[in-house]
């Protein structure tokens, strides 16, 4: 826990007690050679206590920059230009750096895709976990070492005492990812952000790591923000899903809704390509590539690739439409604003056929 009490909430009483993290209108840009890349563009979402929220999207859509923005680890030329990030009652963007250091690692932990690059090659894994413990907790070196071995045991590493004496390169990829998860858990964080935690691993090891994350989430009562481009992982792990395209959240929905009734044409395309693979058919996925974020088309950023495009799409960026039952979408095929969260979901474009509005 941070050593001092947190400052008061940005807007006290605004969030319900089950909201752990509330990101509002966050924008992060990279200014490179007279070009401004809007990597995260007006992004808003909420992580509830105890839930697994998946953030999905193609490569370059802004998933990792969103994670780094929450941790305030965006390095120049990247810069958070607007928004707020409320976590446990305070605005992380308004915290002095010293206070943010206390949040980082202790209350919010980040697990990266490539464990080897996240570990220091010249220290044993036991020393590295002990060091992480010592950064945030008052403990003797001996106590921190004992805690490191206990954490390696908790993440189901066989021979935890022996493994604590090993160097990262002496471990397999799966073991290294377990070490990173142990390190992430060392101060009992409330939120773990796992950025493609299984992408670099073999399929069988991937399944083991996902099982471990699920187990640790229950044991430590964590919330998990799981970043992935793998919809199979999403189906297995998530309670809710955010779909990101070109720096924006284009759809948000509970897990069952997103698979049963995806609303955004991009989400529909992602699902169609995955289903084609699992049924052994070759499907091309979504035609075209993610646009250059420094030169987005006017209107909807997905319009050059969208099979449901209508003339308005190329002129105007869509507003958010709330479809009910926790589903929201940014697409001109749905009326902006929307119904109450309990109302039934609107008819989808695939049912009705697109029409120009």
Ligand X SMILES: Nc1ncnc2c1ncn2[C@@H]1O[C@H](COP(=O)(O)OP(=O)(O)OP(=O)(O)O)[C@@H](O)[C@H]1O
Q: What is the contact surface with ligand X in residues (CB under 6 A)?
A: 30, 32, 37, 39, 57, 59-65, 77-78, 229, 293
Q: Report the alpha-carbon distance of residue 192 to residue 209 in Å, rounded.
A: 14
State which residue, 322 or 332, has the beta carbon closest to ligand SF4: 332
Among 163, 223, 228, 303, binds ligand SF4 (CB under 6 A): 303
- Decide which of Mg ion, ligand SF4, ligand X, none touches 223; Cβ closer than 5 to 8 Å per partner kind: none
State which residue, 64 or 128, has the beta carbon closest to Mg ion: 64
- Decide which of ligand SF4, ligand X, Mg ion, none touches 57; Cβ closer than 5 to 8 Å per partner kind: ligand X
State which residue, 118 or 135, has the beta carbon closest to ligand X: 118
Output the furthest CA–CA distance in the chain (Å, rounded): 69
Which tokens is 188 given?
A: 């009992």
Q: Say if residue 104 is preceded by a cis peptide, omega within 30 of 0.
A: no
- Decide which of Mg ion, ligand X, ligand SF4, none touches 265; Cβ closer than 5 to 8 Å per partner kind: ligand SF4
How many residues belong to the site for ligand SF4 (CB under 6 A)? 14
Residue 184: name the closest of 116, 107, 127 by CA: 107
Could you list the beta-strand ranges (E) of the chain: 19-32, 35-48, 52-56, 78-87, 90-91, 108-111, 191-195, 223-228, 240-245, 248-254, 320-324, 327-330, 337-338
- Decide which of ligand X, Mg ion, ligand SF4, none touches 272; Cβ closer than 5 to 8 Å per partner kind: none
Q: Report the alpha-carbon distance of residue 145 to residue 133 in Å, rounded.
A: 9
Q: At what angle do helices 173-185 and 203-220 cross, to 10 degrees?
A: 10
Q: 257 with 326: CB under 8 angstroms?
A: yes
State which residue, 40 or 109, has the beta carbon closest to ligand X: 40
| 248 is an interface residue for ligand SF4 by CB under 6 A | no
- Decide which of ligand X, ligand SF4, Mg ion, none touches 331; Cβ closer than 5 to 8 Å per partner kind: ligand SF4
State which residue, 133 or 293, has the beta carbon closest to ligand X: 293
Report the nearest approach of ligand X to the CB of residue 59 (Å): 3
Q: What is the dihedral of CA 125, 131, 137, 140, to 10 degrees?
A: 100
Q: Which residues bind ligand SF4 (CB under 6 A)?
A: 264-265, 300, 302-303, 306, 308-310, 313, 318, 331-333
């Amino acid at each position: 826990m941070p050593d001092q009490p947190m400052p008061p909430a940005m807007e006290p009483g605004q969030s319900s007690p089950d909201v752990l993290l509330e990101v509002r209108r966050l924008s992060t840009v990279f200014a490179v050679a007279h070009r401004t890349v809007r990597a995260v563009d007006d992004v808003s979402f909420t992580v509830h206590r105890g839930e697994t929220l998946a953030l999905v999207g193609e490569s370059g859509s802004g998933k990792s920059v969103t994670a780094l923005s929450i941790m305030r680890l965006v390095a120049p030329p990247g810069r958070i230009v607007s928004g707020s990030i409320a976590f446990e009652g305070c605005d992380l963007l308004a915290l002095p750096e010293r206070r943010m250091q206390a949040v980082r690692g202790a209350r919010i932990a980040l697990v990266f895709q490539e464990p080897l690059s996240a570990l220091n090659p010249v220290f044993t894994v036991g020393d590295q976990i002990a060091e992480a413990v010592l950064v945030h907790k008052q403990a003797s070196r001996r106590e921190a070492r004992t805690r490191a071995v206990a954490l390696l045991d908790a993440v189901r590493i066989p021979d935890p005492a022996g493994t604590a004496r090993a160097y990262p390169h002496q471990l397999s990829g799966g073991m290294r990812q377990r070490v990173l998860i142990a390190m992430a858990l060392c101060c009992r964080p409330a939120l773990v952000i796992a950025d493609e935690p299984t992408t670099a691993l073999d399929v069988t090891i991937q399944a083991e790591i996902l099982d471990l994350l699920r187990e640790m989430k229950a044991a430590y009562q964590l919330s998990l923000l799981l970043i992935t481009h793998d919809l199979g992982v999403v189906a297995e792990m998530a309670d809710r899903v955010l779909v990101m395209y070109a720096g924006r959240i284009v759809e948000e929905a509970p897990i069952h809704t997103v698979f049963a009734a995806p609303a955004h044409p991009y989400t529909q395309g992602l699902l169609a390509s995955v289903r084609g693979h699992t049924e052994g058919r070759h499907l091309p996925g979504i035609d075209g590539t993610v646009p250059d974020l420094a030169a987005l088309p006017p209107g909807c950023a997905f319009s050059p690739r969208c099979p449901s495009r209508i003339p308005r799409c190329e002129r105007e960026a869509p507003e958010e439409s709330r479809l009910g039952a926790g589903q929201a979408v940014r697409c001109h095929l749905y009326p902006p604003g929307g119904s109450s969260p309990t109302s039934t979901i609107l008819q989808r474009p695939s049912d009705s056929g697109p029409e120009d509005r």
